[in-house]
Chains A and B, each alone.
Chain A
Amino acid sequence: MDKTQTESDRDLPQVRTQGLNLYYGPDRVLWSLNFDIPRGCVAAFIGPSGCGKSSYLRCLNRMNDFIPGARVEGHVLIDGADIYAPGVDVIALRRRVGMVFQKPNPFPMSIYENVAYGPRLFGVKNREALDETVRSSLEGAALWSEVKDKLNTLGTGLSGGQQQRLCIARAIATEPEVLLMDEPTSALDPLSTSRIEELIRDLKSRFTVAIVTHNMQQAARISDYTAFFLLGELVEYGPTSRIFTVPEDKRTEDYITGRFG
């Protein structure tokens, strides 16, 4: 991507969703979604379980491609380019759109190899360059100081919270533009959760973050924009401060005030 294009891209939203429908076989999972996520923001997706927020997240890096019978209509534009256009390189897309999963899922390899996995895939062989990437990624994930003396031990041997931060380090090691997080703290204790929330606030200076959470306080604490999903529809989307204080839709208000969900 050359410089002039980057300049003009500044005005574009990082992620633009246009008329997105998702089907799993005969079931329609997402209904005509339209909204933009601005660059350098944290966007939170909330809603009761089964509302389609995780399915939407997986549309953004085309992980839904693996689900038999899954079909997408409409467009998702990342930096202005439609990721569902024919001939799109899914591999390259996933390099630009990193993902952190619900359950920490480090590979059963050393901490170092976990972080170096992505860069190695893209052909980085130089040991010094790799060392540097591993260090900066672990620093970026606020894990460096805890593991710098045991980079060669198994990543699976860390505590749950550390494992999740390792997964974040692994995801940012490929220097993506967008970072997807699918309920990243749901399997963690409160202390680890608050560390990760702190981290997410730091990460938005470098990445656009899209996070699914079932925890409304979490969404209020960390996000700039909030989207409320219900039964596969986007009910309401806007600045977090507004959604949580003066929601426009009755259903959003009911959900936020805990009347259902």
Chain B
Amino acid sequence: MRKFSDKIATLVFWGTALSLGALLAGVLAFVVNRGWAALSWEFISEPPRDGMTAGGIWTPLVGTLELIAVSMVATVPVGVGTGLYFSEYATDSFFTHVLRQSIRALAGVPSVVFGLFGLSLFVIFLGFGSSMLSASLTLACLSLPLMVTASEQAFRAVPQDYRDASYALGATKWQTIRKVVLPSAASTIITGVILSIGRVAGETAPIIFTGAAFYTPGVAQSLFDEVMALPYHVYVLATAGTNIEATRPLQYGAILVLVGLVLGISSVGVWMRTRLTRGQ
């Protein structure tokens, strides 16, 4: 009886895992299968045409890359700096406690609330308008907790011996950080950045009312232009296009590119991290 229930349990767990795997493989195969037909060099390299019923996804694709770049420029220094503070400077003080709780709370804020916040602070209060800058800064806030956690872990993983060795040679704290701690932690931090990009690239809700455009004739040229983004483009085509059923191939194509982009970036990050942790 006891062995019987052990067998049943084992069977149930294998069953769950296998069916989940099959389901996800099926979904992925479906997306690839449908999207593959739409994929071509022109699809990638041409902007949408004819009221977004034809052409490609060049504009939203570039827009997404621009959003990623600007948001990372904003988030990486702050994230790494805060991680450095936690690992090297923080004492058990009230400030540190508040900081930790803030980051924890920030990590739980729903993405649409980040959107509201971006709208009220960047778009309206600071007067950036609905623009690439506002959207990127909103995304930067969203990815900040990820960046902080990743860099803090990276710094903490640097063995104390390295620091002691540097101090023993007469280095100051800042010299030690710059010459020893930062270089040792760099690859882990880069992994953190890549994983943050993977998270940010597909976000839709925070940019809907902070800077994502329904349609722009060309690629955004300045920080204050509105910008098309791939995930929002999919949303628009699927829900508000001029001819939703007729543009299905475009939608599948765009979804496939988005999934490919996000999973491509993230798998590099996951792979790098696996290698780094194995090396330790």
Contacts and interface: CB of A to CB of B under 8 A. Distances in A.
Whether chain B is bound by chain A comes out as yes
Interface of A: 91, 121
Nearest to B3: A91
Contacts, number: 3
B7 to A, nearest CB: 13
A91 B2 CA distance: 10
A121 B3 CA distance: 12
Contacts of B2: 91, 121
A62 to B, nearest CB: 15
Interface residues of B, number: 2
A91 B3 CA distance: 9
A121 B5 CA distance: 13
Contacts of B3: 91
Interface string B1-34: 0110000000000000000000000000000000
A110 B177 CA distance: 47
3 contacts: A91-B2, A91-B3, A121-B2
Nearest to A90: B3
Contacts of A91: 2-3
B4 to A, nearest CB: 12
Contacts of A121: 2
Nearest to B2: A91
Interface in B144-175: none
Interface string B32-74: 0000000000000000000000000000000000000000000
A91 B1 CA distance: 12
A121 B2 CA distance: 9
Interface string B120-159: 0000000000000000000000000000000000000000
Nearest to B1: A123
A92 to B, nearest CB: 10
Nearest to A121: B2
A74 to B, nearest CB: 26
A54 B31 CA distance: 54
B40 to A, nearest CB: 49
A14 to B, nearest CB: 26
Nearest to B6: A91
A131 B2 CA distance: 23
A121 B6 CA distance: 13
A45 to B, nearest CB: 32
3 closest A-B pairs by beta carbon, nearest first, are: A91-B2, A91-B3, A121-B2
A38 to B, nearest CB: 32
B166 to A, nearest CB: 36
B2 to A, nearest CB: 7
